[in-house]
Structure 1
Amino acid sequence: MAESGEETNRHTRREGWRTGRRALPPAAWPEPPGRARLAVFLLSAALIVGVPVADAFLPGDIHLAHVLVVPVALAAAFAGPRAGAVTALLAVLALTSAGLERHTLGSESVLVEVGSLVLLSVLLVIFARLLARTRRVSDVTQGVVLRPLPRRAGHLSIAAEYLAAESATRVGGDLYAVARTSDATRLLIGDVRGHGLESVGDTETVLGAFRAAAHRQDPLPELVAWLEDSVRWGLAEHAGSGGDAGERFATAAIIEIPDGAPYVHLINCGHPPPLRLRGGQAHYLQAQESAPPLGLGGLADSTYVVSSFDFAPGDRLLLYTDGVTEARDRHGSFYPLLERARVRAADHHPEPLLKAMTADLLAHVSGRLRDDVALVALRRDTADGTG
């Protein structure tokens, strides 16, 4: 029987594999949507126009020059360095016009105000340019390490969403990958210990091991055993002489979906269970036996048992990381994944399903994630590509 969302959360928190995870810092706010940018533009315009107008009616010993740095900062932060530079130019012109109105443009105080505004504006534009460059580097890094998933593989339609807790990095400890054999599609979703840039090396180790072996015809248990050996060796190499090799691991769910059989085969290595959506219902696919996370399999005599579940045409599978189930709202309540998935169970196409789920998740946490989030949705299609 499927567990409730809260029961699954408690089960996940009790698992010994997760006791070593560090507390994660609050994420940066995500990039603003179009309405927010419009609001920033209107506020900036109002300040740039309003300061010289208000200055004309204020006593001579009151100046509003310092207010003009606000629209420059807003434009640079939310619209980029070019918009910040244009806004800075307009702000300097507004301050200059205010000095002309008062006939004080040549005074020492006004010259200091103009010079201070120019200096602060230059610093803000430089900072915005550095931030934009960092984001571009992060985008390239994400494209190399976490490659986009194909929209179709075999008889499957696929969609994926990734939300990094540290939005400036845009890549972190959550991972996913797809590989094809001659008669099946294999998928990996996982979560390495840590987050952000510090986990990118471990993420690449796990993904590289999967990509190197998943396309082979080896049975699923042999594939996972090979992944365990490769990941354990790779994480130990990354640890070097730091002595933390035993603290590096990755939870993972490895899935195989044959082209010619209505089943999904699963080996779960300490990862949250997948969700199957069928006929307006959602159920967790609990593996018969949960193996240790990748990198910790050498601590015990691990055997990998395959669990099989029905997966007929039209069924969907939702794979996710614990950044979803452990996301809290401002009252401390966990995101009710099972309940929300049932609401969306009628969304047959993976892409709109994930768009709706990620929007709902961000609304639950008021746009502020504390852990990386990865979501992958699959749909079993018929031979002609329909559900």
Structure 2
Amino acid sequence: MKDSLTHRLRRLPGRRAAPHGSGPGPSWVTLLTQGHGPLALALFMIISIVVTGFILPPTEHLASLMVVVPATTAVLAGPGTTTLSAALSCVAAFVLDVHDNLLGTSIPAVHQLEILLVSAFVIASRSIRDRSVRELMEVRIVSDTIQRVLLRPLPPRIGPLLVRAAYHASHPYAQIGGDLYAVARSAAGVRFLIGDVKGKGLPAVEDAEALLGAFRGAARRFGSLPELVADLEHSIRGHFEETGRTDSDAVERFITALVLEVPDDCAEIHMVNCGHPPPYMAQRSGTLLLSPATPSPPLGLGSLDAGDYIVDTFPFGREATLLLYTDGAIEARNDDGQFYDLGAHVATWPGSRPEELLQHVLDGLSLHVGGGAIKLDDDIAMIAVQYGDGFPSPSPAPSDERLLAS
């Protein structure tokens, strides 16, 4: 059940693959589909049918069974190998017909025609399938390239922080969607962005690209989070106005976002929440939900005045791990319609490293949705953050009254 979800997600940094040669040997499926396996199987089938035909009385005609050989080969191999197996099948069928004393009848011609027609059909079908597979692979390559340009892999370490991320698009063949994240180094410390675009499809990807581009350009220019968020609001409004000229639905779109800063000189975090699910902080004393005192509206619906954005501050110690996520992680339902209780699952995390927290959450999500192929109606993006070496000196912690109440 663990692998069913994990393999649908991007490989988490820090997870090592099994050493080459340490696993079990190749399976029978690999032996039949790789190298000369398909041709070997075709020869085995031909020889088996011919030998059986020579053993049975001449009244038992097995030449018609040769149509099975190219049909089976086409499932395992390409047109070239299938054509070769078809030619060998025709020769073998002729040999059987000679053995059965059928040369003076029309039966050998019927056998040859059967093999040729079936072979032509399966070869054409295989050629179409191979072309479709190539086109799909090219699309996946383009999609992966777009993903790396748009949703760049986060560095495993930035400043004093260890960072791990995971992403899953709701569409089974998509690599990217409307969820987004980014990280940037600034003079004030390390700044994170995680967001969720309203809507799906290409418009959502375009909106995500607009916000990511704005954040990457502004994260280093503004000294305070309110100024940064106000600039993001200005950029997103401009993007929606521009796209609204050709897309009437653009005026109804918005982006929930969480902008977070971890200063280099103190053990705390600063956060501006624009309608986004609040993060969790896992530590030995318990799991805390970092709810904002006054949440701001989502981007596209907010204010252009930096003074309207409230910064929330929370202590962030060496033993704490921060989990940022999008709403796909809390809106996943099981067969009974129950939502995934992310907070309760984070509270049961026994590990210590950020990649372990992500894996723990993903394992729980896999069990919640049934343990099979992941079925979600929304994308999921998650970031786990904790201090590595170079932990800053602790600063006086702000009041935890509101934090504990949440």
TM-score category by the smaller chain? 0.7 to 0.9
Map of 1:119 onto structure 2: 124
Equivalent residues of 2:326, 2:382 under 8 A apart: yes
Map of 1:379 onto structure 2: 386
Equivalent residues of 1:96, 1:114 under 8 A apart: no
Q: Percent identity?
A: 35
Map of 1:41 onto structure 2: 30
Say yes or no: does 1:358 pair with 2:365: no
- Change in 2 beyond 3 A, CA 1:70/1:40: farther
The structural deviation recorded for 1:95 is 4.6
Equivalent residues of 1:328, 1:335 under 8 A apart: yes
The structural deviation recorded for 1:214 is 1.2
Higher mean displacement: 103-112 or 273-282: 103-112
- Alignment root-mean-square deviation, CA: 3.5
- Change in 2 beyond 3 A, CA 1:70/1:378: farther
Map of 1:288 onto structure 2: 293
Equivalent residues of 1:251, 1:271 under 8 A apart: yes
- Change in 2 beyond 3 A, CA 1:352/1:110: same
Equivalent residues of 1:134, 1:168 under 8 A apart: no
Equivalent residues of 2:318, 2:391 under 8 A apart: no
Q: Distance in 2 between matches of 1:287 and 1:30?
A: 33
Higher mean displacement: 314-323 or 233-242: 233-242
Amino acid at match of 2:93: R
Q: Deviations over 1:271-326 (max 9, x none)?
A: 11101010173221111122111111259999211111111112110111111111
Map of 2:398 onto structure 1: none
Q: Distance in 2 between matches of 1:322 and 1:341?
A: 15
Map of 1:368 onto structure 2: 374
Q: Distance in 2 between matches of 1:257 and 1:221?
A: 15
- Change in 2 beyond 3 A, CA 1:39/1:193: farther
Equivalent residues of 1:195, 1:372 under 8 A apart: no
Map of 2:264 onto structure 1: 259
Say yes or no: does 1:272 pair with 2:295: no
Map of 1:4 onto structure 2: none
- Change in 2 beyond 3 A, CA 1:194/1:55: farther
- Change in 2 beyond 3 A, CA 1:154/1:30: closer
Equivalent residues of 2:63, 2:92 under 8 A apart: no
Q: Distance in 2 between matches of 1:96 and 1:277?
A: 66
- Change in 2 beyond 3 A, CA 1:71/1:289: farther
Q: Distance in 1 between matches of 2:204 and 2:74?
A: 36
Q: Distance in 2 between matches of 1:331 and 1:39?
A: 39
Equivalent residues of 2:275, 2:297 under 8 A apart: yes
Q: Distance in 2 between matches of 1:113 and 1:30?
A: 38
Equivalent residues of 1:55, 1:98 under 8 A apart: no
Map of 1:162 onto structure 2: 167
Q: What are the within-5 Å matches in structure 2 for residues 132-143 of structure 1?
A: 132-143=137-148
**Higher alpha-carbon Rg:** 2
Amino acid at match of 1:376: I
Q: Deviations over 1:119-139 (max 9, x none)?
A: 111111111111111111011
Equivalent residues of 1:160, 1:377 under 8 A apart: yes
Map of 1:147 onto structure 2: 152
Q: Distance in 1 between matches of 2:48 and 2:258?
A: 62
Matched residue SS, 1:177: strand
How many residue pairs get aligned? The number is: 342
The structural deviation recorded for 1:330 is 3.7
Matched residue SS, 2:184: strand
Q: Distance in 1 between matches of 2:283 and 2:154?
A: 23
Equivalent residues of 1:134, 1:169 under 8 A apart: no
Q: Distance in 2 between matches of 1:89 and 1:343?
A: 56
Say yes or no: does 1:336 pair with 2:333: no
Amino acid at match of 1:41: T
The structural deviation recorded for 1:70 is 7.3
Equivalent residues of 1:246, 1:296 under 8 A apart: no
The structural deviation recorded for 1:115 is 0.9
- Change in 2 beyond 3 A, CA 1:133/1:360: farther
Q: Deviations over 1:55-95 (max 9, x none)?
A: 677966665468537734xxxxxxxxxxx63xx54444445
Matched residue SS, 1:180: strand
The structural deviation recorded for 1:377 is 0.6
- Change in 2 beyond 3 A, CA 1:53/1:296: farther
Matched residue SS, 2:308: coil
- Change in 2 beyond 3 A, CA 1:70/1:335: farther
Equivalent residues of 1:201, 1:238 under 8 A apart: no
Matched residue SS, 1:297: coil
Matched residue SS, 2:248: coil
Map of 2:18 onto structure 1: none
What are structure 1's unaligned runs of at least 5 residues?
Answer: 1-26, 73-83
What are structure 2's unaligned runs of at least 5 residues?
Answer: 12-22, 53-60, 95-107, 393-406
The structural deviation recorded for 1:362 is 3.7
Amino acid at match of 1:154: G
Equivalent residues of 1:176, 1:207 under 8 A apart: yes
Q: Distance in 2 between matches of 1:263 and 1:39?
A: 55
